[in-house]
Amino acid sequence: MKQIWQDIKTLMTLAWPVVISRIGILTLGITDTVVVGHYASEHLAYLGIGMVPSNIFILIMIGLLMGTSVLVSNKFGAKDYSGTGKVWWHAMPWGLSIGLVGMVFCFFGEPLLLLSGQTPELAAAGGRISMIAGLSLPFAALHMTTGFFLEGIRNPRPGMVIMIVANIANIFANYIFVFGAFGFPELGAEGSIWATLVVRFLQVVSILSYVWFFLDHEKYGLRKPKITWAGGREMRAIGYASGISMGIENTAFNVVILFAGFLGTLVVAAHIIMINVFALFFMMGLGFGVATAVSVGNAYGAGDMAAVKRWAWLGLSVQSVIMVFAGVFMWVAALPMAELFSTDAAVIKLAAALITLVSIGTVFDTGQSLLSMSLRARGDTWVPTFIHLFSYGVVMIPLTYALIFPLGRGALGLADGIVLGTFVPFALVIWRYHWLDKKMAR
């Protein structure tokens, strides 16, 4: 029992800065949503639709960069500290390249939205937002890569501080660009994305400055870059599997947004509010997932397979307890949370109903994410990808469509599909991790 409490204390020490950092990622977007929602409901719909291309790509990008976190945590656990710096150096040009590809992808936002069946007006407005969002993706990639490096060496606090400052800056930037304060033009939804671009630039400058000027350069080999394509092969291989996995999951969630678009701008606005609330609580749980995966990766790098098993189930248990309480809070506070995002009574009523329905899904989605990352941290790279392909591509998307249209659930089917669609990968990754533990024990 003493060992369990010590492990919980160790996990919480690593987890709470990561939780704040991950929540900070979402509160940047929530600030955009709140400010734009109070500006005009139709602009909230433009923002939600316009962010679909970059939202799809950004999680693919996170997945492609996940090899940084896995290898850094493995090498840190093996006490190969200079090796962690080599991983970071190989990850930086890789991340920048991915960000530039994402930028080009987002420039085609309008035709992509038209192909998805959106109205010309919604596609045109969303396309302009998509282009602006794409400009910030290279900065986001460099910031994520360096953040994964710092978390892998169990030093997440600088990222937390930078994220807190970024959120404060984003509030002011949104006010200036959305409403046209201090002589700036009034840009509405587009202004919130210009604010995001400014903030992401400041984030990457801050985190790179910290690594370059404040970390132990000799210990981590930070000023001796040896970048080769072959040297990053293992990192990219992990990233390919994780990128496909996250791309499938995020595409499924964004396809659901497109389904909402078929039901009208009011439903889109309400759905965007629900997704923002859901994602905020998901990010809280994801912080515990990252801390668990880093601990699993450290143990795997050290060759301690008993700890590999122990950390995963302990992390899942702690996370699940916290997320049950979070789900209850979402249920009880659905209406006041919806009111934070909009002044439109119809939007608020529908958003509150969706938040209530989707609240249980936070336990499933955060749990599957924790164990998927932990599986990759112990070298099981591709099975989580196949699980996500089946769960989101074969189950969630068709099921949500059926619930909304043929089965007549309408807008409420959006939440039903998310809950049922996240339960499937949750059950499957639990089975996979348990199976590996039994195989290891033979």
The dihedral region occupied by 216, where left means phi > 0, alpha psi between -120 and 50, and beta the remainder, is beta
> Helix (H) and strand (E) counts for the chain?
20, 0
Q: What is the C-alpha separation between 34 and 195, in angstroms, rounded?
A: 14
Report the amino acid identity of residue 20: I
Q: Which of 255, 302, 296, 268 is nearest to 43 (CA)?
A: 268
Q: What is the C-alpha separation between 70 and 73, in angstroms, rounded?
A: 5
Helix (H) / strand (E) containing 84: helix 81-106
Evaluate whether 137 touches 54 at the Cβ level (below 8 Å): yes
Q: How far is CA 328 from the centre of its chain?
A: 22
Q: Which two tokens stand for residue 219?
A: 């210990």
Evaluate whether 68 touches 93 at the Cβ level (below 8 Å): no
Q: What is the C-alpha separation between 91 and 201, in angstroms, rounded?
A: 18
> Who contacts 278 (Cβ-Cβ below 8 Å, separation ≥6)?
330, 355, 358, 361, 362, 418
End-to-end Cα distance, the chain:
26
Q: Give the pLDDT of residue 158.
A: 94
| pTM of the model as a whole | 0.84
Q: Which two tokens stand for residue 226?
A: 């040896």
Return the number of other C-beta atoms located less than 10 Å from residue 258's C-beta.
15
Return the number of other C-beta atoms located less than 10 Å from residue 120's C-beta.
10
> Who contacts 24 (Cβ-Cβ below 8 Å, separation ≥6)?
160, 163, 164, 166, 167
Q: Give the pLDDT of residue 256.
A: 86
Q: Give the pLDDT of residue 125.
A: 84
Helix axes 41-50, 189-214, angle to 10 degrees: 50
Evaluate whether 200 touches 139 at the Cβ level (below 8 Å): yes
The dihedral region occupied by 117, where left means phi > 0, alpha psi between -120 and 50, and beta the remainder, is left
Q: Give the pLDDT of residue 119.
A: 79
Q: Which of 43, 56, 33 is nearest to 108 (CA)?
A: 56
- List the pLDDT tens digit at each of the 442 positions of the chain: 677 888 888 888 888 898 888 888 778 877 887 888 778 777 877 887 888 888 778 878 888 999 999 999 999 999 999 999 999 999 999 999 999 999 999 999 888 888 877 778 888 888 899 999 999 999 999 999 999 999 999 999 999 999 999 999 999 999 899 888 888 888 888 899 999 999 999 999 999 999 999 898 889 888 877 788 888 899 999 999 998 988 888 778 878 888 888 888 888 889 888 988 898 888 888 889 999 999 999 999 999 999 999 999 999 999 999 999 999 999 999 999 999 888 889 999 999 999 999 999 999 999 999 999 999 999 999 999 999 999 998 999 999 999 999 998 888 999 999 999 999 999 999 999 999 998 887 6
Helix axes 137-152, 66-77, angle to 10 degrees: 20
Q: Give the pLDDT of residue 52.
A: 80
Return the number of other C-beta atoms located less than 10 Å from residue 439's C-beta.
8
Evaluate whether 76 touches 152 at the Cβ level (below 8 Å): yes
Q: What is the C-alpha separation between 89 and 145, in angstroms, rounded?
A: 10
Total domain count, the chain: 1
Helix axes 233-261, 52-64, angle to 10 degrees: 160
Residues 280-295: b if buried by 16+ CB within 10 A, e if exposed: bbbbbbbbbbbbbbbb
Torsion angle in degrees (nearest 10) through CA of 67, 68, 74, 79: 160
Q: Which of 258, 268, 280 is nearest to 31 (CA)?
A: 280
Find the domain containing 51 and state its range. Answer: 2-441
- Compute CA distances 169 → 23, 29, 37, 202, whole Å: 16, 13, 19, 9
104: burial class by Cβ within 10 Å (0-12, 13-18, 19+)? exposed
